Amino acid sequence: MSNDGPVYPDDAPASTQLLARAREVIPGGVNSPVRAFRSVGGTPRFMERAQGPWLWDADGRRYLDLVCSWGPMILGHGHPDVRAAVLEAAEGSFSFGMPTAREVALAEEIVARVDPVEQVRLVSSGTEATMSAIRLARGATGRSVVVKFAGCYHGHVDALLASAGSGVATFGLPDSPGVPASAAGETIVLPYNDVAALEATFAERGSEIAAVITEAAAGNMGVVPPAPGFTDALRRVSAEHGALLVSDEVMTGFRCSPSGWFGLEGEPAGGAPDLFTFGKVMGGGFPAAAFGGRADLMAQLAPEGPVYQAGTLSGNPVAAAAGLATLQRCTDEVYQRLDEVSEALAAAVTDSFTRHGIPHRIQWAGSMFSVFLREGAVSSYDDAKDQDAELFGRFFHAMLRRGVHLPPSCFEAWFVSAAHDDEAVEHAVAAIEASAAEVA
């Protein structure tokens, strides 16, 4: 095993210059906060191009990509078939604002993969998908309260940007200025994987609750899969009280398996979730997302029903082409490669961290995994927060110097692609060993 690639300096002059320029015109210089490297320190790398599993930044440095655009680049960058589909679609039109065959084909592909989903509505971001699913759930039930779980992220929807108040079953507090107390106050935040808290909350307020929304398997506090029986309990308790169950598969959908987390865990006892949300992989790197479920429920949406939902660019032909081409190429071989790559990386972490005495815990949801810098199982957000974030920052930069770009936060999954070939894996494995030795 060798790592004879260059060790880059921490200083990245071109990115530093671009960041300064960006900060003049974009808050913090970034269009999504995690990109700013605040939790690991240092200068975010401005990227110029990518191919397969590799990224090149503005200084011409090459990095192995373990972010994969936070999941969408499941086939790697610049997959020739996806590229061809995008170019062909763009030749036809960038946008019609009218229906097209392509968006029907994308909807058919999703419906074919996820059994309980009979219809989908396409939107442009995961945030829009969850926001619309919540509106539909409220419209269909005539209720307003939503239950979510601490540490689960569902996009920056007002009602879903709520933190747990003190006590288990209190109404949520706004997680951000600008979220009205009235919006957060319609949200109840419960600890993940806590069936007793769920039951107690429904016993008290069941008749007010429109929906329970959960990450199918949590990936936004690091990877925390539902404990055995948790999804069943969500289904049982919500159904008992006439509330809907919304499974947010924006991250896990089409990544954990051909049919997402649902395909791995199977249908909960008592029936499938009522609504699903998708994003990331299904857009193939373009802005496309969706929410869907039973046809009778989806019929509540305009123009069939009274619940309004719309989008100028929804079902955009270029995005739909990228998403469809990506999903069509997500074959069994692709999922097998994701498993192999993830297992090789996780084994390297276990091996090197153990050798160098770094406490760690790896957790999985299918091929999706993350590394917690702590010992012991993580089953809730409180557990996830109890790790060595400072050590992660040092490890992150040790990896970056060795040409591996991890997600810049210890609360994120490591994303791989089917284009991560043996050379990519060897590069990562060598960097993990050298970085672990450095930071231990």
Ligand X SMILES: *Cc1c(COP(=O)(O)O)cnc(C)c1O
Compute the distance between CA of residue 370 and CA of residue 363 in angstroms, rounded to an integer. Answer: 6
Stretch binding ligand X (CB under 6 A), from 22-30, 125-133, 164-172, 225-233 = 125-133
154 near ligand X (CB under 6 A): yes
> Among 72, 126, 292, 323, which residue sits at the site for ligand X (rule: CB under 6 A)?
126
At 118, which amino acid appears?
A: E
Q: Is the distance from CB of 188 to CB of 201 less than 8 angstroms?
A: yes
Pairing of strands 361-365, 289-293: unpaired
329 near ligand X (CB under 6 A): no
Nearest Cα neighbor of 65 from 82, 47, 79, 80 is 47
3 state DSSP class of 386: coil
Active-site position among 192, 194, 280, 335: 280
Stretch binding ligand X (CB under 6 A), from 90-98, 126-134, 345-353, 407-415 = 126-134
Nearest Cα neighbor of 300 from 143, 137, 146, 107 is 137
**R_g of the chain computed on alpha carbons:** 21
Beta carbon of residue 249, minimum distance to ligand X (angstroms, whole number): 7
> Among 3, 43, 100, 130, which residue sits at the site for ligand X (rule: CB under 6 A)?
130
Nearest Cα neighbor of 367 from 271, 281, 276 is 281
Which residues inside 176-235 make contact with ligand X, applying CB under 6 A?
215, 219-220
The residue with its CB nearest to ligand X is 126
260 near ligand X (CB under 6 A): no
Q: Is the distance from CB of 234 to CB of 212 less than 8 angstroms?
A: yes
Q: Specify whether 280 is catalytic.
A: yes
Site string for ligand X, 272-301 (x = CB under 6 A): -------x---------x------------
- 234, 235, 241, 243 alpha-carbon torsion, rounded to 10°: 90
Q: Specify whether 308 is catalytic.
A: no
127 near ligand X (CB under 6 A): yes
Q: Is the distance from CB of 222 to CB of 413 less than 8 angstroms?
A: yes
Beta carbon of residue 252, minimum distance to ligand X (angstroms, whole number): 7
Residue count, binding to ligand X (CB under 6 A): 15
134 near ligand X (CB under 6 A): no
Compute the distance between CA of residue 107 and CA of residue 88 in angstroms, rounded to an integer. Answer: 19
155 near ligand X (CB under 6 A): yes
- Which residues are at the interface with ligand X (CB under 6 A)? 125-127, 130, 153-155, 215, 219-220, 248, 250-251, 279, 289
Q: Catalytic residues, which ones?
A: 153, 248, 280
